[in-house]
Amino acid sequence: MLANAIQRPSPNFGVRRNGLKPSLIVLHYTAMDSAASALARLCDATSEVSAHYLITGRGEAFQLVAEDQRAWHAGQGEWHGLDDINSRSIGIELDNRGNHPFSEPQMASLERLLQDIMNRWHILPSGVIGHSDIAPGRKVDPGPRFDWARLARLNLAGAGSSFDIGATPSPDQFSVAAQAAGFTANVDIDTLLMSTRLRYAPWRHGPLCAADMDFCHRS
């Protein structure tokens, strides 16, 4: 846990299944009006949702579930062909409605927490992913305002891969490249394109183009 994390235990957790240990960190935004509202929901037994950590806009970090336990944050999803993401991951909620920038204190706190978790569980930068990565079309968090490139520069998220074919790819070529990058959930091509852009190029719109084969963070 982060050294200065505030303990706020949630009843919503269980045992990680099949002896799995964390190999992923999944980032979310709360999509609620305040951190207090998000904390109340994540700690409400009737909500049946939780995360391991919540970071407020002021940079305060709350630990809700012990890292060795299975929090209920990811739902149905898939990454690199693997399911039961809850058993494979640590979930971090960020106090953000999804339509405004993430604050500097919040990002700085997240960076410290990520480094701490990655060191403790030997999680690679490529294992730091968004909720939208594992559940394309169903989830969009942490959303287009989240600065993935900043994390990549600090080696706290994967830098992606480039699949340069020099021309507009076919849907099949794009799908194969996206799956190689980890996006293996069974969705249609438009949903897949939306999800990869949300992660790597949220400014890009329009039909599939050559740049969509560049699964890299750009600063």
Q: Give the residue-averaged pLDDT of 182-211.
A: 94
Nearest Cα residue to 93 out of 131, 140, 124, 132: 131
Active site residue 93: yes
Tens of pLDDT, residues 103-151: 999 999 999 999 999 999 999 999 999 999 999 999 999 999 999 999 9
- Give the whole-angstrom CA distance, residue 9 versus residue 29: 19
Domain 6-153 has CATH 1.10.260.40: no
Q: Give the residue-averaged pLDDT of 43-72.
A: 98
- E strand or H helix at 70: strand 69-71
Query: Would you place residue 2 in the very low, low, confident or very high pLDDT band (cuts 50, 70, 90)?
Result: low
* Sequence ranges of the chain with CATH classification 3.40.80.10: 6-153
Indicate if the pLDDT at residue 214 is higher than 90.
Answer: no
- E strand or H helix at 114: helix 104-121
Q: Could you tell me the two tokens for 107? A: 């990002």
Report pTM. 0.95
Tens of pLDDT, residues 77-100: 999 999 999 999 999 999 999 999
Q: Which of 48, 67, 78, 93 is catalytic?
A: 93
